[in-house]
């Protein structure tokens, strides 16, 4: 089990270092994901503001 966790940790670190290698791409991806999540939360807020009770 310990070998598996070591492997997963090493793989995650390698993947993160590959993503950070191109800083502009990484930062634009993080900003884009944050913007996408913010817009989604905003539309859900609008939805529940308009429809207080959702049947189903």
pLDDT given for residue 26 in this prediction = 84
Q: CA 14 to CA 19: how far, in whole Å? A: 9
pLDDT given for residue 56 in this prediction = 72
- Report field, pTM of the whole predicted structure over 0.75: no
Give the sign of the dihedral formed by CA 33, CA 37, CA 38, CA 43.
Answer: positive
Q: What is the pLDDT of residues 1-56, one digit of tens each?
A: 999 999 999 999 998 888 888 888 888 999 999 999 999 999 999 999 999 888 77
pLDDT given for residue 42 in this prediction = 98
Number of compact structural domains in the chain: 1
| Domain that includes residue 40, residue range | 23-56
- The answer to whether residue 52 sits within a structural domain is yes
- The answer to whether residue 1 sits within a structural domain is no
């Amino acid at each position: 089990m310990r070998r598996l966790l070591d492997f997963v940790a090493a793989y995650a670190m390698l993947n993160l270092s590959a993503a950070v290698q191109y800083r502009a791409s990484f930062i634009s991806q993080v900003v884009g994901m944050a913007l996408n999540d913010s817009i989604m939360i905003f539309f859900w807020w609008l939805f529940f503001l308009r429809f207080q009770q959702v049947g189903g």
